[in-house]
Amino acid sequence: MVQWSDFERATIQDIFSKINSDFVGPAALSRCLIVYPWTQRYFGSFGNLYNADAITSNPKVAAHGKVVLAGLEKAVKNMDDIKTAYKDLSVLHSEKLHVDPDNFNLLSDCLTIVVASQMGDAFTADVQAAFQKFLAVAVASLRKQYH
């Protein structure tokens, strides 16, 4: 089981209480689709993804970005057992969506950059380390049911 220090718990709670979830989710997902264009392959039914402007203003991308962030908020509420909290999500991504799990790391990178841009100087090295550890645990939990 993952061990969290008091600092890490407090930092993760603090980040998620401060960020604008309606902004961060959509911003991270659209950034991922732009910076790593092959990830668009999973969004064939989302309509126009032909350029950065189309992606950033696509309402389905925005809506799904919020869904992703809600999923992370669930992990925040279940920090001591993210693996169990994400079991069904992991099965879904493996068996229904057929997402290459390497893509979870790409979205994590984009989330880190968006949160860093939001927090500015407050995104210190310690805060970055805690946030990346949290995302790594979320990603590992999402990978868990893949076989």
Partner 1 sequence: MVKWTEEERRIVREVWEKVDIDEIGEQLWARALIVYPWIERYFGTFGDIFTTTAILNNSKLAALGKIVLRGLDTAVKNMDNIKPTCASLSRLHYEKIQVDPDNFRLLAECITISMACKLKAELNPQVQATWQKFLSAVVEAMNSQYK
106 binds partner 1 (CB under 8 A): no
CB 131 within 8 A of CB 115: yes
Instruction: Report the nearest approach of partner 1 to the CB of residue 93 (Å).
Output: 23
Closest to 143 in 3D by CA, of 79, 76, 82: 82
Instruction: Report the nearest approach of partner 1 to the CB of residue 84 (Å).
Output: 27
CB 124 within 8 A of CB 65: no
Q: Given candidates 13, 18, 20, 35, which one binds partner 1 under the rule CB under 8 A?
A: 35
CB 29 within 8 A of CB 21: no
Q: Given candidates 109, 137, 143, 145, which one binds partner 1 under the rule CB under 8 A?
A: 109
Instruction: Report the nearest approach of partner 1 to the CB of residue 38 (Å).
Output: 12
Binding to partner 1 (CB under 8 A) within 10-29 occurs at none
Q: Which residue has the tokens 């500015």?
A: 120
Instruction: Report the nearest approach of partner 1 to the CB of residue 40 (Å).
Output: 13
Q: Given candidates 78, 94, 103, 128, which one binds partner 1 under the rule CB under 8 A?
A: 128
From start to end of 36-123, where are the E strands? none
Q: How far, in Å, are 91, 101, 120 from residue 97 at the CA level?
A: 9, 11, 35
Residue 135 sits at φ, ψ, to 5 deg, of -65, -35
Residues in touch with partner 1 (CB under 8 A): 30-31, 34-35, 52, 55-56, 109, 112-113, 116-121, 123, 125-126, 128-129, 132
